[in-house]
Amino acid sequence: MYHCKLWFFCITFLSLPLPFLVNAENIEISESTTLPISKIVLYTSGVGYFQHDGTVQNDSQLHLPARVTEINDLLKSLVVQDLDGGSVSSIHYQSQVPLTKTLSSFSIDLSTNPTLAQLLTQLRGEPVQLTTPSPITGTILGVEKKTEWKEAGTDQRYSEVEYVNLLTSGRLQSIPLPHIQDIQLLNNTLNKELQQALTMLARSHDRQKKMITISLEGKDDRHIRMAYLRENPVWKTSYRLVLQDDSPPFLQGWGIVDNTTDHDWNEVQLSLVSGRPISFVMDLYQPLYVPRPIVKPELHTSLKPQTHSDRFTDDVESEEQVQYGGQPNFAKSKRSRHGQSNRQEALRAFAAPAPAKALADAEGDLRQGVTATAQGQETGELFAYTIQSPVSIPRHESAMLPILSQSVTGDKFSLYNSKTHATHPLQAFRLNNITDLSLMQGPITVFDDNAYAGDAHMKDLAPGQDRLISYALDLTTEVHQTPVHSQQELISAKLQKGLLIATRKALNATTYTVTNRSKKQKVVLIEHPYRSDWKLINTTKPKEQTRNAYRFAVTVDSEKTESLNVQEGKPIEQTIRLLTSGNDTIGLYLKANQISSDVKAALQRVVELRQQLSHTQEARKKLESRIANIAKDQKRIRENMNRLNKQSQLYTRYVKKLHAQETELEMIQQDLEKLREKETTQKQAFEEYVMGLETS
């Protein structure tokens, strides 16, 4: 029995020299020993679980080379187990501190690719020895530029020349930089820092590989296990479905695995997990710096001398007693250490390895000459296929591994959907997953009577569920769809606060005519669009229903034709304002048989009140029209009277007519006032009655 300690991250940032690499992907222990991969679990979320097993002796180090793109997954998931009582002392890796930040931390800053003059400027005050060609020893004061006249053949011009200013034995010297052949730093500490900066700059050129070093402490030979997640292509599935009239359907499944790593997988235990676990990448490798505010120290004036009052009593608890309930300070420290010990014991208990779950054998069938070599087991909410025999896949190659080979159950159909094809249905098969395996989505190649029949695509299929797949166009069956224009039928009406709310049923019908021209009887599943606000009326119950469609089963004999009539109804409410609607509109509802007698009586009363109001309004309008006509005639008469002699007979006639019209106007005004009062009363009564209606 192994004594196991499970260690998660104990990682520190440390710049380490690159060790000798034996294999770019295996874990290196020494120049001749590696920790090989023993187990791989591939997931459909783009990651793979890689487990290494091997032995080490005494205190050892494991070196795990990794691509920069893999570091974050390793930092997130790396687990190390010393199964024979040893321990992991630390895990180190090369920091991803930005190069410019690292280089700028040295006394000589190489982050900006400085020139020789800029380097010498950084060395101001440092002792150096220059060769010009004779050696000169001094202290660098600085670098300056001087403008000099240059004559080189026909090229005569002014140019700038950089000079190094030195202090040598109490004398100042200015030496042209082009004349200096050699520069030696006499400060050993500064020289070492420059070498370190150059080494760091050289390491940055290798951006592909980084090294993780695991330090192990223990005695004798010990079994070591290491596991981590890394990015890996998703594994895929493909299936073969064999359909025959004289035997059960047969399903064969293959898992497609890609080895995109830089090393061979030799005799590894391989598991393929179906499901979609959440996986993401978080940048744990790049150091993060939090911006912090700058707080200026506060300046306080000195306190003046203070005087204090005398105390009243000596019975005062000490500060230790108040804070710790009468216990001295050392008691708190003791409890803290004791609590820390308990936490360490709990961590060791948590780190104990859990027993592996046993795998159940999957049924195998040699019908196609291929034996499924995968065992299936549930892993939490996921499902895993574990390949029974060790698997070997050379690097940058792929493999197909048999994971399923057994008989299944199901039925053949023809599936019609007008959006897929207007005339012909699809040949389909309902696959019942009677296996104990969770079938991952993938393509299915269908063979019917030992001949290729078509391709289908299947979504994830759990044990005990079924899936309808289609693989070819059924050219021997035709379906014609004949829609009927929608109609509306009154159902009921009710009155509510001045509104007539009529409920109508919108009717929609579609006829499907199915013709079977084959020599076999066929069952055709017709998919009719499902709309949540429409309900089936006087229609055969569908065989099944999906989120978007009803599926009606129509059995059609050989060379026969059958029809399916699908009727749907949808309630529609129509609102009519009784105060503004005409009597003709209300009259239509009075004639409808679907309306209750109470509603009809109320509507009849509305019509009567509206007619009474209408008669009064018409009488008022007639009187107002008569007044307007009299006023118009009087205007004409007065215009004529202005042109006549007042002693004339016609003038006297006009006077008599005006007198008679004025008398008539007085009577009309009296009648008009009464009509207006009557109209107001009738309108108020009409509105109060209509707005107070509550019938159904």
- Residue-by-residue DSSP string for 543-610: SEE-SSEEEEEEEE-TT-EEEEEEEEEEEEEEEEETTTS-HHHHHHHHT-TTS-HHHHHHHHHHHHHH
pLDDT tens readout for residues 122-170: 888 889 999 988 889 999 989 998 888 777 666 778 888 899 999 898 8
> Which CATH number do you get for residue 569?
2.60.40
Alpha-carbon span 294 to 297, nearest angstrom: 10
Helix (H) or strand (E) holding 490: strand 477-496
pLDDT value, residue 24: 35
Q: With 70 as the cut, is the pLDDT of residue 10 above it?
A: no
Q: With 70 as the cut, is the pLDDT of residue 636 above it?
A: yes
pLDDT-derived band at 22, boundaries 50, 70, 90: very low
This prediction's pTM: 0.58
Assess whether 217 and 266 both reside in one domain.
no
pLDDT tens readout for residues 547-583: 999 999 999 999 999 999 999 998 888 898 988 888 8
pLDDT value, residue 440: 87
Span of 103-112, 540-549, 657-666 with lowest mean pLDDT: 103-112
Collapsing DSSP to helix, strand or coil, 625 comes out as helix
Residue 213 within any structural domain of the chain: yes
State which of 521, 545, 577 marks the end of a domain: 577
Residue 41 within any structural domain of the chain: yes
Unique residue bearing structure tokens 């060379």: 559
Most confident of the ranges 16-20, 216-220, 543-547: 543-547
pLDDT-derived band at 319, boundaries 50, 70, 90: very low
Residue 518 within any structural domain of the chain: yes
DSSP codes of every residue in 684-696: HHHHHHHHT-EE-
The domain total for the chain is: 5
pLDDT-derived band at 625, boundaries 50, 70, 90: very high
Span of 31-35, 69-73, 258-262 with lowest mean pLDDT: 31-35
Assess whether 482 and 629 both reside in one domain.
no
Unique residue bearing structure tokens 């009259």: 587
Assess whether 224 and 261 both reside in one domain.
no
Assess whether 529 and 593 both reside in one domain.
no
User: 171-176 and 87-93: which strand pairing?
Assistant: unpaired
86-113 burial, b at 16+ Cβ within 10 Å, e below that, comes to bebebbbbbbbbeeeebbeebebebbee
Q: At what angle do helices 597-641 and 649-691 cross, to 10 degrees?
A: 160
State which of 577, 610, 630 marks the end of a domain: 577
pLDDT tens readout for residues 643-685: 889 889 999 999 999 999 999 999 999 999 999 999 999 999 9
pLDDT tens readout for residues 459-474: 988 888 999 999 999 9
Residue 332 within any structural domain of the chain: no
pLDDT-derived band at 264, boundaries 50, 70, 90: confident
pLDDT value, residue 541: 92
Report, in angstroms and rounded to the nearest whole number, the Rg of the chain calculated over CA atoms: 50
State which of 170, 186, 202 marks the end of a domain: 186
133: preceding bond cis by omega (within 30 degrees): yes
For residue 27, the enclosing domain spans 1-112+189-232
Closest CA to 461 of 487, 484, 435: 435
Assess whether 569 and 591 both reside in one domain.
no
Q: With 50 as the cut, is the pLDDT of residue 318 above it?
A: no
Assess whether 132 and 51 both reside in one domain.
no
Q: With 50 as the cut, is the pLDDT of residue 41 above it?
A: yes
Assess whether 551 and 679 both reside in one domain.
no
Tell which wins on pLDDT, 384 or 455: 455
Assess whether 41 and 176 both reside in one domain.
no
DSSP codes of every residue in 502-540: EEEEEEEEEEEEEEE-SSS-EEEEEEEE--TT-EE-S-P
Assess whether 175 and 197 both reside in one domain.
no
Assess whether 374 and 264 both reside in one domain.
yes
Contacts of 585 (CB under 8 A, 6+ apart): 576
pLDDT-derived band at 511, boundaries 50, 70, 90: very high
Q: What is the mean pLDDT of the chain?
A: 80
Beta bridge partners of 310: none
